[in-house]
């Protein structure tokens, strides 16, 4: 998250801690299942920017924005709500030389896991995508188009998804910077309102075949293909001290672009924290589930939560 946004998050956290801010809307959107608070004593815990769940919603890998990940298991009630979370240690991603990713090159933001378990991770700062045949093993660099270097600092490849054919899709959080609106809003304005370019990696090369349409002040922060084949995109809009609003749109992906847009979820400002990671799966009843993780920015005043919604048929 850019420095101005981080300052705004700190200000909002202080307001919450002092009891100066009212509670979130007590009536969340339809389909809300719960928000499970997660904590660990490890100093490297926090800052989660991405999450991937198994097809049955019981196992997960969560990625933070300092080049580390956690794997664990979710135990659910008979109604499918999260009751307990068991997690392993916070583990640092490796570079291609069997050493942890170096500071300045470890701002990991997006995760996508292929059917064979290969894990892809996208980065801000030094914009690129790494491939891990085993997430505990060595990194392999995917080709990096020269256009990646022109994305805004700390606002590049936030969203990463892989489809059933193993094709990767990456979306930057922003395209260009303009003058910030206000310090405490932290909201980045776009100078020309361009849509967000969608980059696709297939047959060993990147192309940019179409865009994600911009709609309002929401910015893309995560993406996942659901079991229905649709591309789901988690977006956030930051409003300073009142907090974040979140939205999930889904699309059908065709050769010519994104079609059949749906708004599957939109929360009020402050309803949840900074939801940055999204995983889409199908429960035993056949319903689509959205599991999201919040980024606490490594601030003890904020919470790390797993937030879940069930979509209507």
Check: pTM over 0.85? Answer yes or no: yes
What DSSP character marks residue 212?
Answer: E
Range from 86-95, 179-188, 262-271 carrying the lowest mean pLDDT: 179-188
Judged against a pLDDT cut of 70, whether residue 84 lies above it is answered with yes
Predicted local confidence at residue 9, as pLDDT: 54
pLDDT for the residue 190: 45
What's the pLDDT at 63? 98
Burial of 88 (0-12, 13-18, 19+ CB in 10 A): exposed
pLDDT at 184: 36
Conformational region of residue 135, where left means phi above 0, alpha means psi within -120 to 50, and beta covers everything else: alpha
Lowest mean pLDDT among 26-30, 49-53, 97-101: 26-30
Q: What is the mean pLDDT of residues 7-30?
A: 56
| Whole-number Å distance between alpha carbons of 312 and 248 | 14
pLDDT digits (tens, 9 = 90+) for 112-160: 999 999 999 999 989 999 999 999 999 999 999 999 998 887 789 999 9
Q: Return d(Cα 194, Cα 213) in angstroms, integer.
A: 8
Rounded CA gap, 151 and 17, in Å? 35
**pLDDT (tens digit per residue) in 240-255:** 999 999 999 999 999 9
pLDDT tens per residue across span 175-234: 864 433 333 334 444 445 889 999 999 999 999 999 999 999 999 999 999 999 999 999
Quote the CA–CA distance of 234 and 223 in Å, as a whole number. 6
Query: What contacts 27, CB < 8 A, 6 or more positions away?
Result: none
Contacting residues for 117 by C-beta, under 8 A, at least 6 apart: 134
Given a contact cutoff of 8 angstroms between Cβ atoms, the answer to whether 188 and 180 are in contact is yes
Q: Are 303 and 293 in contact (CB under 8 A)?
A: no
The share of the chain scoring above pLDDT 70, in percent, equals 87
Which two three-digit tokens encode residue 185? 């809003």
Q: Is the pLDDT of residue 14 over 50?
A: no
> Which residues does residue 73 pair with via DSSP β-bridges, in sequence order?
59, 86
Task: Kindly state the average pLDDT of the residues 4-15.
Answer: 51
The C-alpha atoms of residue 179 and residue 50 are separated, in whole angstroms, by 28
């Amino acid at each position: 998250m850019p420095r101005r946004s981080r300052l705004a998050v700190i200000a909002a956290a202080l307001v919450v801690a002092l009891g100066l801010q009212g509670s979130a809307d007590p009536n969340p959107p339809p389909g809300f299942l719960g928000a499970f608070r997660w904590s660990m004593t490890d100093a490297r815990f926090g800052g989660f920017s991405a999450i991937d769940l198994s097809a049955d919603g019981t196992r997960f890998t969560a990625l933070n924005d300092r080049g580390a990940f956690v794997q664990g298991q979710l135990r659910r009630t008979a109604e499918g709500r999260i009751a307990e979370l068991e997690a392993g240690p916070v583990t640092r991603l490796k570079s291609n030389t069997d050493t942890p990713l170096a500071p300045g090159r470890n701002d990991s933001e997006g995760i996508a896991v292929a059917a064979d378990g290969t894990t892809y991770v996208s980065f801000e700062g030094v914009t690129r995508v790494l491939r891990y045949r085993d997430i505990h093993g060595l990194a392999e660099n995917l080709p990096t188009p020269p256009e990646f270097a022109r994305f805004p600092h700390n606002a590049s490849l936030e969203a990463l998804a892989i489809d059933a054919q193993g094709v990767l899709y990456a979306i930057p959080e922003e395209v260009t910077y303009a003058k910030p609106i206000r310090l405490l809003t932290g909201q980045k304005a776009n100078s020309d309102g361009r849509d967000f370019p969608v980059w696709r990696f297939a047959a060993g090369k990147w192309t940019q075949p179409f865009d994600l349409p911009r709609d309002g002040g929401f910015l893309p922060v995560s993406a996942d293909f659901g079991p229905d084949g649709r591309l789901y995109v988690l977006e956030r809009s930051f409003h300073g001290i009142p907090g974040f609003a979140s939205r999930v749109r889904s699309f059908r992906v065709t050769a010519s672009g994104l079609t059949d847009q749906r708004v599957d979820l939109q929360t009020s400002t402050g309803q949840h924290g900074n939801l940055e990671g999204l995983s889409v799966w199908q429960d035993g009843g056949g319903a689509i589930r959205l599991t999201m993780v919040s980024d606490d920015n490594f601030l003890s005043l904020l919470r790390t939560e797993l937030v879940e919604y069930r979509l209507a048929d």
